[in-house]
A and B are shown apart, each in its own frame.
Chain A
Amino acid sequence: MTSRFWTQGGDSDSDEEEEKQSEFGDGSDAGGGAGEPAGDGNRYLHENASDSDDSDGQHRVIKSARDKRFDEMAATVEQMKNAMKINDWVSLQENFEKLNKQLEKVVRITESDKVPNLYIKALVLLEDFLAEALANKDAKKKMSSSNAKALNSMKQKLKKNNKQYEELITKYREKPESEDEGVEDEEEEEGNESGSEVEEDPSKIDMSDMEDEDVEDGDEQTEGDGAWEKKMSRKDKLMDKQFMKDPSEITWDVVDKKFKEIIAARGRKGTGRVEQVEQLTFLTRVAKTPAQKLEILFSVISAQFDVNPSLLGHMPINVWKKCVGNLLLVLDILEKYPNIVVDDTIEPEERETEKGVNHKGTIRVWGSLVAFLERLDSEFFKSLQCIDPHTRDYVERLRDEPLFFVVAQNVQDYLEKAGDFKAASKVALRRVELVYYKPQEVYAAMRKLAEQDEVSDGGSEGDGVGEYQAVEEHRGPPAFVVIPELVPRRPTFPESSRTLLDSLVSLIYKYGDERTKARSMLCDVYNHAIFDEFYVARDLLLMSHLQEGIQLMDISSQILFNRAMAQLGLCAFRAGLITEAHGCLSELYTGGRVKELLAQGFSQSRYHEKTPEQEKLERRRQMPYHMHINLELLEATHLICAMLLEVPNMASNTHDSKRKVISKTFRRLLDGSERQTFVGPPENVRDHVMAATRALNKGDYQKAFNVIKSLDIWKLLRNRDAVLDMLNTKIKEEALRTYLFAYSSCYKSLSLDRVTALFDLSDVHAHSIISKMMITEELHASWDQPTQCIVFHEVEQTRLQGLLFQMADKLGILAEINEKAFEVRTGGGLDGLPPRRRGEGQEFGGSVVSGRWQENFLSASQGRSRAGYLSSRSGQVAGGFPKERAGAGQRGGASGYSSSRYQDAYGSTGGRTPYQSGSSARGSQIDGAGRMVSLNKAGRIY
């Protein structure tokens, strides 16, 4: 109890506003805060609220100012009376002026035209006294000159002044007696309203208030006024008195009136939220028509949602369960009386719900099932966010999931029956979001749980609902409108979650709005990924075109997108699709904010502090623990993918490693670990992968694999052995590639047997890998078929040649920049440029896999190879050419070190262009495949 009071008093914004509005905010808060039964303070408050007419919107501070004015005025009147006694007209005149000034102020403050009685009274007194003084001519003569002067001026002033208040004065004169009473009354009231200044005794005020109330109680006993609402015991008594004694006397009107009263109290300061729920629940039983019952039930549900006012906290679980029960009851009613229509767009007529069971036409009741359901879901979600996941409570809470599920299912069925498919799709989305992240095992467990409950519970409901109804039964009379349980109380789950999702998702795709569709699509992708259907998930994602528009969507959907991507990455990894997995995951890891992106915790940023608001918002977005994607697994997957791609890549561009970076994150980590002086045994995921990288760099595939294998996250995978096997093969492959890149320059030839022995790969496999490298011109070598060995070609250039290539590249870039500058200036492109250059421009333009560019490239390279072929022929004929070639070779041998540095430059012009890095690895493979040496050049069109 106390805690509730504290929350009421302390944290919510709406409360503050109420505080301002209430007149004695401080006092009541103190009372509430002290944990007293809300009775006294509230009653007091309520009293004031109900009978003060002009106090709305006034601050307590202002009121004290008003009090002061009244006080001053009264004092002035006293002074005037004194002055009259001694016949001192000078001071009387002064006081009169003062009084007028004060009047102005008072009027300004009270913001009413009504002149205080106090003032009128003073005027009457003055007038009488003046008349008396004027009549007494002797006395006048005796007066001092100043006094006489004052008397005269007073006479004129008063005459002038009193004209304004003539009416009031005559009224006062006519019946001074009654007016006197009124004045007193008012004075007392003013005293009540305006605080303690006049009487300066708060206890007295309290007393008077109590008395007042007692009187009122007496008056209103028959009606059971709002003043009673807060006192539970008495109220119940009253209710019983009112409703129990004679059920036949209770009419729709009585119930409706009571209902309206309770509703009106909603949201008022001091209205007990729990009590209100109970009152309303009581009312549902005495409702006269189904429609009325429905109407009241809706209010019960909203009142239940109101029980927890804070955005961060969640609704008490028992209330939540009751709420579920109520919603089911609502559905029962709707099921039984199909002519009742729930609508939240049209304002229903005043007495719509009076129409009884036998009414034929449709009865409209205001309310929105979808809104309630969504609220219910978010409360469930919030409760899971708040409960510590390591406690038993959390597990218990999770068991309530079927409970929600059944409501959702029923609401959806109802909406579909009613033809409101748009709303049904919203409900369907909620259901999808409850199921999509569950692997088959978890889903089966939930299904089993739901079935088990059914068996054990037998007739009675699940714990929450059952309790609720039991509670209801033993209190009070049986309900007037008895609604049998019509809608099923158990969820029905299809065998596999896939079938369930498919049916829901297809409904959503058909009727949902954009956001609903997008979200369900993402859920679908996620689910497919969990079920290891990478291609289906990928195609779905690509077809949805969500990647392009996701930045524009709300944050929660963005998080869902991130999570779907993460899951897709894991799925690709399990399927052995390293490149794809890396593509999915790398983006998540670029900013180092994975936790935030997946809404699975917070990451502290060194550079900027979050404001409390941001933190609060973020906390509200967090995923409940059971939905988390294992971050270690995710990180390991990402880093291993990066390692498998990056290690051979680094080995292939040893001299110019900056040029083509696949994973920046990985490079950074590697740099960091290389800078360490001493390398300890690996502790976390990162260390493990770094250790594996070091081993892989040396071609030690076994060690690399063992280090990776020793990670204990692998036990999280369902098909652990298959994944590890896959990983082992991949590591071997990449080790082989790395080895060949790194040491090919040291070999003249290398036999396949040796390679297979070194890397424990099958002949065919190794052959395939090496062939691929040859075709893509990563490796300058060819097979010698009879002896089964690789023969490496000398492709090294002289230093001069290397420099020349560099210069050629730079010139190309220069020309490029010139053209671009020109285009920017003129806005138009250059026409008639050679086709090749055009093609490059396209490639620069976008990362779209560039079929056309590659085509152009293809023709160019063919042209080149033919040119080479021709020239070598002509060289033979001329005779001079080969000699020069040999010379070049010698030079190359002499300056072996320096020339090898430019090997890469050669590579770039020979086949791999820097532009190519934009296209995917797959693209480049195919590119290589397509760049065939043509046997039938004669027939080729260039």
Chain B
Amino acid sequence: MAEHDLTSRIAPHLDRHLVFPLLEFLQERQLYADEEILKAKIDLLSKTNMVDYAMDIHKSLYHTEEVPQEMMDRRAEVVGRLKSLEESAAPLISFLQNAANVQESRPDKLYNLQMLNDRFQIGQEQIEALYQYAKFQFECGNYSGAADYLYHYRDLCTNSDRSLSALWGKLAAEILMQNWAIALEELNRLKEIIDSKNFASPLYQLQNRIWLMHWSLFIFFNHENGRNGIIDLFFQDRYLNAIQTNANHLLRYVATAVIVSKRRWNMIKELIKVIQQENHVFKDPITEFLECLYINYDFEGAQQKLQECEHVILNDPFLGKRVEDANFSTVPLKDEFLENARLFIFETYCRIHQCIDIGMLAEKLNMNYDEAENWIMNLVQNAKLEAKIDSVSGTVIMETSNVNVYEQLIETMKNLNTRTYLLAKSLVDQTPQSAR
């Protein structure tokens, strides 16, 4: 099932550290050979400062206790650098650690800078050192420390570019610490900056948006209100454009989010349009499912795709999140998805039929006869379906509700009155004005 794996397409848009969770997931799912993943991990780590971790992986990969010399060298180098950075950032950090001092600072950035400079002899170099130190901490895997420092740094920073990268760093750190609520806040802040800021080139802005969308996947599929969030974000024109130009694999996540959140089914039309436009570049079972259902009305095909979708969801690092529940692990999203997809199929099916065999329906919906009858009964009872079950022949009979002609007429004429009234009113309003 590795063919639908998107990790390789997603990874380039992520921070190094953010790829780890994905690799962990892949390792767990055993989609690839263990060695491959471990090697990929070492590869990733080689550019970071998490040397100890890299050493551990190296040991488990080659089953030795020895570690190559360059790793040792690197370790020494990292430690040395950490020391020097710590030193240069020390004055500011000690200031920040003192609660009394922090209380003195005010929301006014300039004032703070002035105060730091006057009373503690902390100037631009120290602030810059703080940023470097935070970055280094992040590289070392100390995310909470990094997040903390970056938070303070942003208060003191005057350079907007720096502030932007600090924000990215903060976001990454929060994601890695799984503080979804805070991460969401940071995400929104970042989004505002990206949308409002006049970037040098539109291309860079586009790139930023794409990064943002990729990073947001972590948050949206973990935060409780994430699904609405992802739909809101991704369906904005600019972001939809970005998806279409450079990151069409993200369509999988949008599609899933739309299918899963019932209240947003009205987005499906727009989604289908996009999927159809992009289907020569990107397709996977989830988008194909929608295509079968809404473009070709091929229910058999949709059924097949649905089965594939199940695998895709299970193997996707974002979608296939597990919930351990008393020794029983489930993937909540998968169940939700299947249920909703079934509803989708059934709904469409009912629209064009007046009489359906329950047996066949049960087969289509992956249920047995009784289950299906029960399910339909529930739907009818909850007034979600205008139908009756003909138990003798084993069919469901739709009640075709032809729209009443009079209703239609009334509907068409309905607002004529208001319109005319408004028109007349504004005319009357205008006349005295012009007379004056």
Contact = CB atoms under 8 A, between A and B. Distances in A.
Contact of A936 (B262, B400, B402): B262
Contacts of B386: 869
Nearest to B390: A786
Nearest to B434: A826
A868 B404 contact: yes
Interface residues of A, number: 72
A784 B405 contact: no
Contact of B384 (A764, A826, A906, A935): A935
A939 interface: yes
B121 interface: no
Nearest to B346: A935
Interface in B329-387: 343, 346-348, 350-357, 360, 379, 382-386
B265 interface: yes
A795 interface: yes
A868 B409 CA distance: 11
A768 B298 contact: yes
Contact of A926 (B263, B273, B404): B273
Nearest to B401: A869
Interface stretch (B25-33, B97-105, B316-324, B421-429): B421-429
Given A868-B402, A868-B404, A935 B343 contact: yes
Nearest to B426: A830
Interface string B83-102: 00000000000000000000
Contacts of A830: 422-423, 426
Interface in A884-909: 888, 906, 909
Contacts of A714: none
A932 B265 contact: yes
Nearest to A865: B403
Contacts of A864: 403, 407-408, 411
B269 A808 contact: no
Interface string A821-836: 0100010001011101
A208 interface: no
Nearest to A829: B426
B405 A768 contact: no
A785 B350 contact: no
A782 B352 contact: yes
Interface in B239-281: 262-263, 265-266, 268-270, 272-273, 276, 280-281
Nearest to B394: A786
B248 to A, nearest CB: 11
A140 interface: no
B413 A811 contact: yes
A855 B268 CA distance: 11
A858 B266 contact: yes
Nearest to A931: B269
B427 A812 contact: no
A154 B142 CA distance: 126
Given A786-B395, A811-B413, A871-B407, A764 B348 contact: no
A930 B300 contact: no
A18 interface: no
A795 B272 CA distance: 30
Nearest to B293: A929
Interface string B138-162: 0000000000000000000000000
A872 interface: yes
A938 B418 CA distance: 28
B353 A822 contact: no
Contacts of A535: 280-281
Contacts of A801: 405, 409
Contacts, number: 175
Nearest to B419: A815
A922 B277 CA distance: 10
B404 A771 contact: no
A783 interface: yes
Q: How large is the interface on B (under 10, 10 to 19, 20 to 34, 35 or more residues)?
A: 35 or more
A775 interface: yes
A791 interface: yes
Given A786-B393, A872-B401, A935-B347, A832 B415 contact: no
Given A786-B355, A786-B395, A832 B412 contact: no
B64 interface: no
B24 to A, nearest CB: 36
B355 A868 contact: no
From B268, B351, B386, B423, residue with most partner A Cβ within 10 Å: B351
A833 B420 CA distance: 10
B419 A833 contact: yes
B71 interface: no
B401 A865 contact: yes
From B355, B384, B405, B422, residue with most partner A Cβ within 10 Å: B405
A926 B272 contact: yes
B357 A785 contact: yes
A863 B393 CA distance: 34
B294 interface: yes
Nearest to A868: B403
A78 interface: no
Interface string A756-800: 000000001001100110110000001111110001010101000
Nearest to B425: A830
Given A836-B415, A864-B408, A868-B407, A925 B295 contact: yes
A100 interface: no
A941 interface: yes
A923 interface: yes
Given A535-B281, A822-B423, A782 B405 contact: no
B413 to A, nearest CB: 5
Nearest to B235: A851
Contacts of A767: 297
A775 B273 contact: no
B413 A938 contact: no
B268 A930 contact: yes
Contact of B351 (A775, A797, A927): A775
A855 B266 contact: yes
B360 A785 contact: yes
Contact of A783 (B265, B300, B352, B383): B352
Contacts of B408: 805, 864, 868, 909-910
A804 interface: yes
Nearest to A798: B405
Nearest to A925: B295
Contacts of B347: 932-935
A174 B356 CA distance: 135
A837 interface: yes
B416 interface: yes
B201 interface: no
A195 B384 CA distance: 112
9 contacts: A784-B355, A833-B419, A864-B411, A872-B401, A872-B404, A923-B273, A926-B269, A932-B268, A935-B346
Interface of B: 262-263, 265-266, 268-270, 272-273, 276, 280-281, 294-298, 300, 343, 346-348, 350-357, 360, 379, 382-386, 393, 395, 398, 400-405, 407-409, 411-413, 415-416, 418-420, 422-423, 426-427, 430
Given A785-B355, A830-B423, 20 more contacts: A764-B300, A768-B296, A774-B352, A783-B353, A791-B354, A808-B412, A815-B419, A826-B430, A833-B419, A833-B422, A851-B273, A855-B266, A888-B405, A909-B408, A929-B294, A932-B268, A933-B351, A936-B384, A937-B384, A940-B263
* In the A-B complex, the 3 residue pairs with the closest CB atoms: A930-B269, A771-B297, A868-B403
